Structure 1
Amino acid sequence: MAETLSDVQVVLNIENPSVPVNMGNLAVFVKGNKDGAKSYYSLDDVVSDYNDNVALQKAAEGFFAQGEHGEKFIVVTYADKLTLAADMFYTEGWEFAMLVPGTDNSSYMTDLSALAAYTEGKAERFIVYGLPATSDSVDNVETTVNTLGGGKRAIVFASGKDATEATYGAAALVGAVGNKTVGSVTWKFRTVGGVKPVNLNVTQIKKLHEAHVFTYVTKANINQTSEGFTLAGEFIDALHGDDWIKASIETQLQQLLSNSNKVTYDAVGIAQIDATVTTVLANATTNGIIEPNAETGAGTFTVTTVSRADSPAGDISARRYNGLSFEYTRSSAIHSVKVHGQINL
C-alpha cells in the first residue's frame, strides 16, 4: 500500500443489512517509457503532450467537455507494473481511474484486471471502464465483468459504437457527475454531454443491468444514464459518500493537529477531536450522504469517545489516541416509482 505522510488514519467498517477537494478528479493510466504523473487543466495541454494517443485524447475530451468537471485530469504513466505507479502517485488527488492503450498494448487486459483489483483492495476510489454499446459487447458482457473482478469499486458504462467512443463516454460520465456535491446526486438519470443514446433494445439493456453494467438511454425525451451502480450492485453515490466522509475526517483531524499549539490528552483535547468528527458527519447529513432522523432532522450517526482514564497506558505514553469511533446510516434515493390507481365507474 502507498505510504502517506499523515498522522490520522480513518478505518471504515461498513455493515450492509439488506467538501474535501479532489472527489471528481480523473486519473488516466497509460503504459509509457517511465513512471510519472502530470496534472492537466485543459484539453489543449493533453493533446499537445499526447498527440499520438487517440484514446487518451478522447478521455480528456470527454472529461473537459462537461461543464462541472473536476479540477484536474491526471495522466499516470507506468513502464512496467501499473500497481507500483498507482502506489507512487496515489496522493496526486484522483478519485476515479481509467486505463487507456499505449504504444505497447500486450499487457492491456492484465493491467486492466490489476487496476480493478487495486481499487477493490483499497476499498476506496473507483475504476471506470468504457464498454462499446454493441450487440457483441452485450453478448460477451460476462467476460468484461470477470476481467474487472465484479467488484464494488468497478464502474462499467456502455456507450458509443467502438472503443474510442466508449472511452469518451466513460471519462465524460466522471466529468459530468463526479465533481457534483457528494451525496446530493445519484448517478442514474444524469445527462452526459457529447454521449449519444445507445442503439440497443430493451432486452439487451436488461442484460447489461443484470450484469450491473449501465448505459445511456432516452426517457421522457431526456437523454440520461440508465442506472448508477458498480459491478457488485452497490450504488456509486453511496460509496462516493463513504469516500467523502473518510477523506473529510482525515483532512479535518490533520488540520486540527497541525494548527493547534497542542491537542491535550484529556477531556478538552478529546472533545476537540469529537467535535471535528461530529461536524464532518453533520455536513455529510446536509449534503445527503447520511440519512436524517425523520423527527429531528439530525443525522442518524453516533460518535463515541474513550476518556483518558480508560485509554491504554501505552497509547498515552506514545501520544496515540485510538478511542474515537463512529457509525452512520447511509441516505438513499428513489430510482423507480410504481403508482397504483383506481378507476370508479
Structure 2
Amino acid sequence: MSNILSDITVKLNIETPSIPVNMGNLAIFVKGAKQNVETFGSYEDLQNAYGSNELLKQVANGYFSQDDHGNKLFVVTYTDVATAASAYYPEGWEFATVIPTDPTAPVTILPSSEEGKENSQPVTTDTTNAWADVVALSNFIDGKNERFAVVGMAATPENVENAAEFKKKFGNSPRTIAFFSGANQAEAEYGIGGLVGAVGNETVGSVTWKFRKIGGVKPVDLTVTQIQKLHESNIFTYVTKAGLDQTSEGKTLGGEFVDALHGDDWVKASLETRLQQLLSNAKKITYDDAGIAQIDATVTAVLTDATNNGIISINPETNAGQFTVKTASRAQSSNEDIAQRNYNGLQFSYTRSGAIHTVKVNGQINI
C-alpha cells in the first residue's frame, strides 16, 4: 500500500452505480510528548503499559474481548496526528481511532447562519480543539482513499439530537465509521474497539457490518425515531431486533457500506502483495506474451479469490465472478515503457456483490 517500498501501483476507480492477512488490525492514536508506535497482542500486555489511560484501555478491552479480533493492536503516540499516521502507515493497520483530548466535551458547534448566531444560543460550546485531532485523522485517511477512521460518542438522547452537528465535523467522509454506543464516553470507546474486533477481521467480503453481535456492548435505550435520526446522518448504533443484539447499520459517514469499501481494500492490497511476490520470486518476468500472461494469471487469481470470499458478484449464467482482466501486448506498449521496463497495459474491473439489508414481503390472504 501507499508509503510502503513496492514496485506495484494499483489504482481503483469506482463507477457508481452500477493475500493480505489481518485486515482487521486497529491502531489507537494517543496524544503524547513524543511520536512512537507500539504493538500489543493481548489486553493484559497493553494494560501493563498503559494502566493509567482509562479510555485507551476501554478501546483495547473492547477489541480483545471479541473472539475474532485481529492479531495486533497498535498504539500510536503522536504530537501531530497526520504526521504520525503517515510515519506509521506501513505498519499495516486497517482501522484507526483517536482518543479525543477532551472526550467529555460536548460536540455541537455554533449556528452556521448569521441569523442563527444573532437569535439563538448554541446548545453547547464550540469544541473544535477537543476534536481537531479526530477530524485530522479522518481527513488523512480520506486523502489515502483506503483504510478507515472509527469515531464514536455515547448513545445519549442529547448526542443523538446533535448527531447532524457531530457529522458536520467530518462532512460526508467516505472512510469514517461513526458508531454511537454506551451511556458514557468510556462505554463508547469500548464499543469502538468491540466493533472493529468483532467484524474487522472476518474474511473480507463474507460479512456485512449490519446485524453483527459485539460482545460486552449493551443495546441502546433509544426510540425508533431517535435511531432513525442517527441513520439520517449515516451514524449507526447497537440495538435489539427479534431478540438478537446487533449493529443497526453498516455505513460510513459518506453513505458507503463498510463491507464494500473493505472489499476494495482487500483487492488492492492482495494485488499489490501478489504481484510484488511474482516479480520478486521469479528470476525474470520477460516483456513478452509469456511474462504478461503471468501477470494476467496473478490478477485473475486474486479476483477469483475475491469472488469466493463474497467481494465480487457471481454471474448466474456462468457461475463465475463478474470481473474482467485485460492486458496489452508488447506490441501495444510504448517504446519508452519497454525501455524503462514499465508495464502499464493491465486493466481490470469487477462488480461488487453487495448484500441484502432489508426485505419486503407481499402476501395475500384468501377467505
TM-score grouping bracket, smaller chain normalisation: over 0.9
1-side partners of 2:129 and 2:19: how far apart?
37
2:360 to 328, 338, 342: 338
Equivalence for 1:91? 90
Does the 8 Å contact 2:8/2:276 carry over to 1? yes
Equivalence for 2:287? 265
Equivalence for 2:55? 55
2-side partners of 1:12 and 1:53: how far apart?
39
State TM-score, norm by structure 2. 0.91
Structure 1 gaps, min length 5: none
Equivalence for 1:250? 272
Equivalence for 1:277? 299
Does the 8 Å contact 2:178/2:252 carry over to 1? yes
1:153 to 162, 169, 175: 175
Deviations 1:35-79 (A, max 9, x none): 111110000111111111101000000000000001100001112
1-side partners of 2:130 and 2:136: how far apart?
10
| Cα drift, residue 148 of structure 1 | 2.0
| Cα drift, residue 150 of structure 1 | 2.3
Equivalence for 1:44? 44
- Secondary structure (helix, strand or coil) at the match of 2:315 reads coil
| Cα drift, residue 305 of structure 1 | 0.6
Indicate yes or no: 2:335 matched with 1:313.
Answer: yes
- Secondary structure (helix, strand or coil) at the match of 1:158 reads coil
Moved more, 41-50 or 143-152: 143-152
| Cα drift, residue 117 of structure 1 | 0.6
State TM-score, norm by structure 1. 0.97
| Residues 2 and 235 (structure 1), Cα distance of their counterparts in 2 relative to 1, 3 Å cut | closer
Partner amino acid for 1:55?
L
Alignment of 1:1-345 (within 5 A): 3-17=3-17, 19-79=19-79, 81-101=80-100, 107-345=129-367
Moved more, 280-289 or 106-115: 106-115
Equivalence for 2:113? none
2-side partners of 1:15 and 1:252: how far apart?
25
| Cα drift, residue 18 of structure 1 | 5.7
Identity of aligned residues (%): 58
2-side partners of 1:130 and 1:112: how far apart?
10
Equivalence for 2:124? none
Does the 8 Å contact 1:217/1:224 carry over to 2? yes
Does the 8 Å contact 1:53/1:102 carry over to 2? no
Does the 8 Å contact 1:113/1:149 carry over to 2? no
Does the 8 Å contact 1:32/1:102 carry over to 2? no
1-side partners of 2:20 and 2:39: how far apart?
18
| Residues 281 and 2 (structure 1), Cα distance of their counterparts in 2 relative to 1, 3 Å cut | closer
Structure 2 gaps, min length 5: 106-127
2-side partners of 1:194 and 1:328: how far apart?
37
2-side partners of 1:203 and 1:296: how far apart?
44
Aligned residues: 344
Does the 8 Å contact 1:116/1:149 carry over to 2? no
